[in-house]
Amino acid sequence: MSKQIKYMKNQVKMLLIAAAVATAQIQVANAQFTVPGTADPLLPNVGDSDDYNPGNGNLDTTPAQSSVLFGTVTPGSTISWNATGSTGNTPTISGYDANGDPSDVTGFAATPSDLIFGTGNFSTFQAPINSLVGLFIGSGGADFIEMGSGGSAVVPAGADEFYMGSMDGYQWNNNSGAFNVYVTESAPDGGMTIGLLGGAIVALQAIRRKLVR
């Protein structure tokens, strides 16, 4: 083996190692969570209460019915998740997975008289009942997302926290079951990994040309 080819192979190894390190650095946070059926997505803030169905006398409060906090997040990063388990909007578990019951879609919208929410600035949201849902919250208000059993979402501008809950129409305090959720936050790498891998491919092509001559 010529010294030049040996040198080029070493370059490839270094580029591949650098790409692997860059990829590892992109993942900034990951954790496993239990999200009970009683986790009210309308209650991300300690001290809040939710009587979303006014006058029903079944008030949800924190921390008993709090939604589950993933942690702080960075706008522009990507949240990815996988979820198993089942919840129920009654004391009986529904048997549906984290995608919920597709034949029963429910929703809610913020009105100041209905709930105390820290920031009540969010649009009408709908999702299958007993599905896993998420909530980005921050200076820009609140953004709900339908999570289901797996997927990803980009953290919106102004968001600094991410919460999870089980979808219901009102009164989460008599719900049942739980989801087991694995969540990862990944920051954009600005093309670094792709660039490093591209450099490795170019070097490998040069080695191939040397060997076939």
- 134-192 confidence digits (pLDDT tens): 999 887 677 889 999 999 999 999 898 999 999 998 889 999 999 999 999 988 755 44
Q: Give residue 112's pLDDT band: very low, low, confident or very high (50, 70, 90).
A: very low
- Tell me the domain boundaries of the chain: 28-188
Mean pLDDT of 62-91: 93
Does pTM top 0.75 for this prediction?
no
152 alpha carbon, distance to own chain's centre: 6
What pLDDT is recorded for position 206? 54
Q: What is each CA distance from 7 to 11, 63, 85, 164, 184, in whole angstroms?
A: 6, 61, 52, 51, 38
Mean of all residue pLDDT scores within the chain: 77
| Domain covering 28-188 in this structure, CATH number | 2.60.120.430
pLDDT-wise least confident of 78-87, 116-125, 163-172: 116-125
Q: Which residue has the tokens 């591209």?
A: 198
What pLDDT is recorded for position 96? 96
What is the C-alpha to C-alpha distance for residues 23 and 21, in angstroms, rounded to an integer? Answer: 5
CB count in 10 Å sphere of residue 165: 30
Element (H, E) at 75: none
Q: Give residue 51's pLDDT band: very low, low, confident or very high (50, 70, 90).
A: low
Element (H, E) at 25: helix 3-26
